Structures are given as C-alpha cells and as structure tokens.
Structure 1
C-alpha cells in the first residue's frame, strides 16, 4: 500500500475555496447585526450565503477526507506535534460545519442561544485556522521541509 504524500486536486481546490469563503463570511459578519429585525421571509444576506456554502462544502470535504484519506503528519515531528496537528485538522472540520449550522439556526429560527453559539464556534474556528497556518509556515520556513507542497497544485501527490 502506498503512503500518501499529498492531497488530491479536489481536496486542494476545496481547501483554498473554503478558506476564501470563510474569510469573506468573517469579514461580512457585521452585516448580520440586527438580523432579528428582518422579516422571516427576508433574503439571506451574503454572510449567510457564504456560511451555507462553507457548511455544504465542508461536508463534501469531510466525506472526501474519509474516502481518500490524508497524508500523515511528518514522521520527524515529535509525537505531541503529530497529535496536535491531527486534533487541529479535525477541530477545523467540526467547527467549520457546526459554526455555519448554528448560524443557520440563529437566522432562520431567531434563536439567541444559536447566535451566541455561532459566534463562539466561529471565534474558535478562526483560532484553529491561525494555529494551523502558523504551524504550516513554521514547517515551510523554519524546518524547511516543504510541507506546503502537499496543499499546492503540482506539489506532492498520492
């Protein structure tokens, strides 16, 4: 059995597309202040459209991850770093699905607790993304192990 050294092209495309959608939704978060005053039949603001897109694309990405797998963390990493990387990846999956899910409940059902939960989950998602990014940059520029090639078209492949 061959060990994967990189992600598939569809996994790479979804990774970067979802990052752009999350950034856009986060930047448009202020658009949702006062959403509870909108009629229940109001069109979903762009923030919500981006969030719903993240929700469905992350489910697709999760299914692809379960089907295609992912390359293991670098064997040269200490055990605690490999565990932290795995935990961070799964946290990003969970938070990027549950955050928009809670946002949908907040918008459509006007549940204050869902709005509060959405805010907490998205803040945790941003922290997880920043930690993930910092670790990837550390690998690339400090350890110089070319880890970013896994998530670049034309980089390491199966």
Structure 2
C-alpha cells in the first residue's frame, strides 16, 4: 500500500485530542488513589472516563493507521532512526490501548495485579511519549526538516 504524503485532518485531530486526554488522565490520577474503596458499580471517576475515551479513540487511530497509513519517515534519516521511529509509534499505540484496559480491569474486577500492571504501563507510556516528543523537537529545532508540520492542522 502506498504511503500518504501527510496525515489526514482526522488523524491529526485524534492525535492531539489523545495527547490532551492522556495528560489530563495523568494529572487526575491522584483521584484514583482510593479506588479499592469505591464501589464497583459507582459512577466512573473522571480519570476512568478519560481512560475509556482514550481507549476508543486509540482504536479509531489504529484503524486509520492500518487503512490509510502514515507518511514515510524523512528520507535523510538513517535507516536505524527510521526503524526506531516506526517501532516507537507502534509501542505508543499499544501502550495507549493497553493502559486504559488494565485500569479498567483493576477498577471493575478489583484485581490488584492489574493495578500494578496499569502503573507499569502508565510509566512506559509516559517515557515513550517523552522520547517521541524529544525526537519531534529534535527534528524541529536541530534538523529543521519541518517534520512537525505533518501533525499540524494548517496545511502548507
């Protein structure tokens, strides 16, 4: 399948909405400290609603990625950087889907091990997102190849 020249507007919007929601979920994570004391049939706290939203939006992003594709990496990047970038994107997808899933298991099934997994996945998600952000900033300010424009809503 040929790769598109740029991300679609929907892909870009979903990317930034998911970024904002993950940041919000992280900032609200302290409200889940006493999750064991909450009744399983209680209205889901805002952190959980955000996680559920991230889960479904990431499924939509995954479907778009599989059916529409993504632009190719910059041609001037070494092959190893291109492979790392591709792997990082897929790891981000996997973590952004698995992290809310594990949180749901922890909350609804009262499964302590799932809560531990959720904490681990959250940490891995944040570290991978930080590496992804650092790479984007590297391209923007060091390489100056305009890579970040592909994730902007304004089109040249």
CA-atom RMSD in angstroms: 1.2
2:62 aligned residue: 62
Tell me, yes or no, if the aligned pair for 1:105 and 1:111 is still in contact at 8 Å.
yes
Per-residue CA deviation, residues 129-155 of structure 1 (Å, 9 max, x unaligned), is 100000001001100100011000123
Kindly report which structure 2 residues correspond to 1:125-144, keeping only aligned pairs within 5 A, or say none.
125-144=125-144
- Offset, 1:59: 0.4
Tell me, yes or no, if the aligned pair for 1:140 and 1:147 is still in contact at 8 Å.
yes
Q: Distance in 1 between matches of 2:69 and 2:7?
A: 8
Q: Distance in 1 between matches of 2:5 and 2:135?
A: 18
What residue ranges of structure 1 are gaps of 5+ in the alignment? none
Normalised by the length of structure 2, the TM-score is 0.96
What residue ranges of structure 2 are gaps of 5+ in the alignment? none
Tell me, yes or no, if the aligned pair for 2:3 and 2:69 is still in contact at 8 Å.
no
Q: Distance in 1 between matches of 2:134 and 2:39?
A: 42
SS of the residue corresponding to residue 52 of structure 1 reads helix
> Does 2:11 match 1:20?
no
Tell me, yes or no, if the aligned pair for 1:58 and 1:93 is still in contact at 8 Å.
yes
> Does 2:121 match 1:121?
yes
Paired residues, number: 156
- Offset, 1:67: 0.7
Larger RCO, structure (CA 8 Å, separation 6 or more)? 1
SS of the residue corresponding to residue 133 of structure 1 reads helix
Tell me, yes or no, if the aligned pair for 1:92 and 1:128 is still in contact at 8 Å.
yes
Deviates more, 1:146-155 or 1:7-16: 146-155
2:11 aligned residue: 11
Tell me, yes or no, if the aligned pair for 1:6 and 1:149 is still in contact at 8 Å.
no
Tell me, yes or no, if the aligned pair for 1:7 and 1:150 is still in contact at 8 Å.
yes
Q: Distance in 2 between matches of 1:28 and 1:155?
A: 34
Tell me, yes or no, if the aligned pair for 1:21 and 1:50 is still in contact at 8 Å.
yes
Q: Distance in 2 between matches of 1:142 and 1:4?
A: 25
Tell me, yes or no, if the aligned pair for 1:102 and 1:114 is still in contact at 8 Å.
yes
- Offset, 1:75: 1.3
